Amino acid sequence: MNENEVCSLLGIEYPVIQGGMAWIADAELAAAVSNAGGLGLIAAMNSNGEQLREQIHKAKELTDKPFGVNLMLMSPYIEEAVQVVCEENIRVVTTGAGNPAKYMEKLNGAGVKVICVVASVALAVTVERMGACAVVAEGCESGGHVGETTTMALVPQVVDAVNIPVIAAGGIADGRGMAAAFMLGAKAVQMGTRFLTAKECNVHENYKQKVLSAKDRDTIVTGKTLGHPVRALKNRMTRDFQEKEKDPATTPEELEKMGAGALRRAAIEGDVRYGSCMCGQIAGLVNSEDTCKEIIEGICDDAKRRIQEIYGKNCVSI
């Protein structure tokens, strides 16, 4: 344990938090990240209450380190997920894709620390007032559901607006990204894309390979017209979606239907042509399959070395 504010808040060794990737972040990935000294998270998005409980029990068998649950606020199972988190004595959750106001009191009342993923200063300020213990400021370089502001612009503005620790996310996958996040005032990083290709990540092999071979301009944001823009790797599905989105004859219902189940199709079934391979812009930098331990230790060591190169030894402990 070191003096990093997020590490002491969460009882973890390294200031690295895993993204709560729906259909991907299961008990095995969460436990591997936590065992490596970061904070692993189980994605509740795709599980009903009982399925989530099962994953939590599994993670408890695989690690005795702290791990959390990601609550995706648009999930049809959100009420059940909150209930199960409280019953299972989960110590920390992250929330995303909405305003968690409805659930803050219940979670905090049950002793659950709430870290809200935000894409704007306004929501960061709101959730701090409601009792969030930290925020993840997630720039639009991220994969999946995205806001409109880049990490470079969002993080320092959120840092200036709140008194709780800020965790940077979006476009971070190596030590350079982590060092840059610290310079912007973040106290930790959250990474999704980097963990997609972790050895312990159970995403379908086709999806993993597509991330590994992706280049800088291979992602695209679709779904803006529906009000929930999503970043994914370009493929047949995103091209069809784009065409439909441009066509004034397309109804929102048709678009919703195209998107429904698309992430599952890619992540579980391995259909990387007609499924949605949600992924961040940093995929071009992610070229190897490593264990969570190699990823976390590698990134923290590299960030520390780079900061020390500039500011001298003993200036930082990560």
Distance of alpha carbon 57 from alpha carbon 40, whole angstroms: 14
Element (H, E) at 211: helix 205-213
Q: Which is nearer to ligand TUI, 45 or 52 (CB)?
A: 45
263 is an interface residue for ligand TUI by CB under 6 A: yes
Q: Which is nearer to ligand TUI, 62 or 123 (CB)?
A: 123
233 is an interface residue for ligand TUI by CB under 6 A: no
Site string for ligand TUI, 30-59 (x = CB under 6 A): ---------------x--------------
* E strand spans, 57-131: 67-72, 92-96, 113-118
100 is an interface residue for ligand TUI by CB under 6 A: no
- Choose the binding region for ligand TUI from 1-9, 95-103, 183-191, 292-300 (rule: CB under 6 A): 95-103
User: Helix 252-259 to helix 236-246 angle, to the nearest 10 degrees?
Assistant: 170
Residue 281 corresponds to which tokens in the numbers above?
């812009």
With tokens 């439909």, the residue in question is 244
- Determine the residue with CB nearest ligand TUI: 144
Q: Name the DSSP letter for residue 226.
A: G
How many Cβ atoms from other residues are within 10 Å of residue 91's Cβ? Answer: 15
Shortest approach of ligand TUI to residue 119 CB, angstroms?
4
Q: Which is nearer to ligand TUI, 113 or 231 (CB)?
A: 231
* E strand spans, 99-254: 113-118, 134-138, 144-145, 166-169, 188-191, 219-222, 230-233
Q: Which is nearer to ligand TUI, 144 or 177 (CB)?
A: 144
Shortest approach of ligand TUI to residue 147 CB, angstroms?
5
Distance of alpha carbon 239 from alpha carbon 6, whole angstroms: 40
Member of 117, 134, 173, 286 binding ligand TUI (CB under 6 A): 117
Q: Name the DSSP letter for residue 281.
A: G
Q: Which is nearer to ligand TUI, 228 or 293 (CB)?
A: 228
154 is an interface residue for ligand TUI by CB under 6 A: no
Member of 138, 174, 200, 271 binding ligand TUI (CB under 6 A): 138
Element (H, E) at 39: none
Residue 99 corresponds to which tokens in the numbers above?
């305003």
15 is an interface residue for ligand TUI by CB under 6 A: no
Residues that bind ligand TUI in the complex, under the rule CB under 6 A: 22, 45, 72, 96-99, 117-119, 123, 138, 144-147, 228, 230, 259, 263, 278
